[in-house]
Copies of this chain bind each other. A is one copy, B any other.
Amino acid sequence: MKKILFFFILLNVISSWSQSKELNLMPWPQELVLGKSKLEIQPDFTIVVHQKITKRIEIATTKFLRRLSGRTGVFFDNGFAFNANSIQNATLEIFYKRAGKLEINEDESYQLKTSSNKISIEATTDIGVIYALETLLQLLDNNDTSYYFPEVSINDFPRFTWRGLMIDVARHFHPVDVLKRNLDAMAAVKMNVFHWHLTDDQGFRIESKKHPKLHQLGSDGQYYTQEQIKDVVQYASDRGIRVVPEIDVPGHATAILTAYPEIGSKDTIYSIERFSGIFDPTLDPTNEKTYEILGDLFAEMAELFPDKYFHIGGDENEGKHWDENEHIQSFKKKHNLQSNHDLQTFMNIRLEEILVKLGKSVMGWEEIMTDKMPKSALIHSWKGKNEGVPQRSSLFLAAKKGYNTILSNGYYIDLMQPVSEHYLVDPLPKNNNLSAIEKARVLGGEATMWSELATKLTLDSRLWPRTAAIAERFWSSEAIVDVSNMYKRLGVISFRLEELGITHIRNRDVILRNITNNQNIEALITLAKVYEPLKIYSRNAGGTEYKTYSPFTLFADACTADASDAIIFKELVHNFISSKGENSKAEIVSFFKKWAVNYQQFNQIEKGSPLLKNIAPLSKNLAEISTTFLQIINSETITKEDYTNCIEQLLQIEKPVEDVELAISKDLKKLAAFLIDTKKVSNISNEYFKKITN
């Protein structure tokens, strides 16, 4: 009853989405009522905790006060939260019942209520408190004279219990501090699983005390010590985040075999892989030593990772070395294993037995889902339509078969696609044909950050802010699908991630300064706002263009998906065309004017360099086509010359240069078609026109 009062007896409430959607919350809360008053941030802002101050609460409240003070410049009298018995009145009162457990289906809900002079947070667990504090920080607003929290009443809880982010630290190593700041960012958007992809062909990143050759020979010296792993796991736990380790076997195992060639399926010399892709080295599932080493390793890992789930990979094993190995072939016959897939299942079941003894449940990429796989396994669905099967087919199949399962297909954040594409992928879309019990087996999903092309300099800009939108998909109601509102909120969330140390914004200019040798980078910034890195796998076709030690300080590395000016320009063009040229013309012209002088500006960079020379065409192409558009958009008649130039330049800008592509090329095409359609054009053959409109 108290709760009902808490949420619904609010005077002067305005509950319409039309007003509340101005709030820059992400993930969007389940229930929100917006009031009219506000609470101003003053130096006497204090927090009281009506319960034991757990380490989680201590860290969360202290960090909250630092962030609030940092944002507002308000000098607080008190820098730490108080216990209930040590203070009478507090601005923010926190009530919770117990420490949260790091397991699936834990209660992560919270209630947050702000009024003109009081804030209260109620939650079952201290994890709920963390989320409430993050929501509260997202609510901060200001006018000319003060910073304040608007009056709200929020009741919030997650839609899915598994809201994960996988980071691949094998293809490029990401040191502890990089992981920690990303754990902070995860907590800020209420994600609760860090899936740590620790081994792959390009590196084995864990210190093994039982088999030290693994990290000594398999990592180029880039690995986490066991103490560092404990530190990261604790750091995650303090933020309500579970950590699931992945040891990828039997494929993706070149680094393991570099250390222990004797458990490989081919008698050869292995060395750490420098390229990307799918490689042949594979563990030998018929060799007892394979299970000895993995058993020892799993036992070591089980000590470091308290989480129930243990990811054994299992993806992309093509079994080429198995086919070439006579002993393995005869083993298959002897054990009546029809296919390599059967052989892998044989191995998986052995590994599952080892893990069960260690108190763990096995988790693996969808390839592990075979008839004999125990139903305690968690199936990680990742293949999409591209593989000839409908999206999410393995997810639904797993749920129907009785497995718990999570979705990553659609959330491959490293592919540099617009965030809108990820955002609209729902693990449980309407009309999913699953029964209630089957639906409950779909635990959620994980964004996956493969790092073939991401170093510690650029990792954050590949992950953020786009991962926040995926986090919203996992947390918020399925009804929250307004893409344009999502983009608006994401802009604010993005900037706020800076205070957690996320480097996605600041590191762009670091790269541009390197390219220009610390000369004026203005021209390059303009370009970085409209060019995007090549998408999907086209930047590194076949995995052979880049080695792990290639430079990742190129212009493409300064660019990001969802190039900021491109997003604005796209909308302007849409407005312009749909209003038949009545709206947005001035803004479009102003963009063209800026771009038209870009090449001139670019050439004013005094000292040239090969890096600059390589990207000069990007500037030249943009300036030329913008000049042409300026001519066309401002004249009544399009001359044949302008027309021809436009067509040729449109074809020109479609070609990738230096691993980037112009993010507005489709919009320019649409705009050209519209202009040609509405203006006088004479003496022009149809042929050209076709080229544009197709």
Which A positions have Cβ atoms within 8 angstroms of B?
55, 58-59, 62, 65-66, 69-76, 79-80, 142-147, 175-177, 220-221, 225, 227-228, 231, 274, 491-492, 495, 498-499, 503, 505-507, 509-510, 513-514, 517-518, 546-554, 607-611, 613-614
Q: A337: shortest Cβ distance to chain B, in Å?
A: 40
Say yes or no: B551 contacts A70, CB within 8 Å: yes
Q: A548: shortest Cβ distance to chain B, in Å?
A: 7
Complex: chain B residue closest to A612, CB-CB: B144
- For this chain, the copies found in one complex come to 2
Give the complex CA separation of A69 and B548 in angstroms.
12
Contact with A513, one of B66, B505, B554 (Cβ below 8 angstroms): B505
Give the complex CA separation of A550 and B551 in angstroms.
40
Q: Which residues on B sit within 8 Å (CB–CB) of A175? A: 177
Say yes or no: A72 contacts B548, CB within 8 Å: no
Contact with A507, one of B142, B506, B614 (Cβ below 8 angstroms): B506
Say yes or no: A221 contacts B611, CB within 8 Å: no
Give the complex CA separation of A613 and B76 in angstroms.
19
Q: Which residues on B sit within 8 Å (CB–CB) of A76? A: 549-550
Q: A73-B611, A75-B547, A80-B549 are in contact. List 8 more A-B contacts (CB 8 A).
A: A62-B220, A65-B549, A79-B274, A145-B613, A147-B610, A495-B513, A495-B518, A503-B506
Complex: chain B residue closest to A554, CB-CB: B73
Q: Which residues on B sit within 8 Å (CB–CB) of A498? A: 510, 513-514
Q: List 26 A-B contacts (CB under 8 A).
A: A62-B220, A69-B550, A70-B514, A70-B552, A71-B553, A72-B611, A73-B554, A73-B611, A75-B547, A75-B551, A142-B609, A143-B609, A144-B610, A145-B613, A146-B610, A176-B176, A225-B227, A225-B231, A227-B227, A228-B231, A492-B518, A495-B513, A495-B518, A498-B510, A498-B513, A505-B513
Say yes or no: B514 contacts A551, CB within 8 Å: no
With A145-B610, A227-B227, A609-B147 already in contact, the answer to whether A74 and B551 are too (CB < 8 A) is yes
Q: A594: shortest Cβ distance to chain B, in Å?
A: 14
Contact with A499, one of B69, B514, B550 (Cβ below 8 angstroms): B514
Q: Which residues on B sit within 8 Å (CB–CB) of A274? A: 79
With A71-B553, A498-B513 already in contact, the answer to whether A79 and B548 are too (CB < 8 A) is yes
Contact with A506, one of B58, B73, B509 (Cβ below 8 angstroms): B509
Q: A496: shortest Cβ distance to chain B, in Å?
A: 8
Give the complex CA separation of A59 and B221 in angstroms.
9
Q: Which residues on B sit within 8 Å (CB–CB) of A518? A: 491-492, 495
Q: Which residues on B sit within 8 Å (CB–CB) of A517? A: 142
Say yes or no: B146 contacts A72, CB within 8 Å: no
Say yes or no: A58 contacts B551, CB within 8 Å: no
Say yes or no: A73 contacts B614, CB within 8 Å: yes
Give the complex CA separation of A498 and B553 in angstroms.
12
Q: A52: shortest Cβ distance to chain B, in Å?
A: 16
Q: Which residues on B sit within 8 Å (CB–CB) of A492? A: 518
Q: A169: shortest Cβ distance to chain B, in Å?
A: 15
Contact with A143, one of B75, B513, B608 (Cβ below 8 angstroms): B608
Say yes or no: B506 contacts A553, CB within 8 Å: no
Give the complex CA separation of A503 and B220 in angstroms.
26
Q: Which residues on B sit within 8 Å (CB–CB) of A491? A: 518
Say yes or no: A610 contacts B550, CB within 8 Å: no
Say yes or no: A551 contacts B59, CB within 8 Å: no
The 4 tightest CB contacts between A and B, nearest first, are A79-B549, A177-B177, A144-B608, A227-B227
Q: Which residues on B sit within 8 Å (CB–CB) of A499? A: 514
Give the complex CA separation of A610 and B607 in angstroms.
42
Give the complex CA separation of A611 and B551 in angstroms.
40
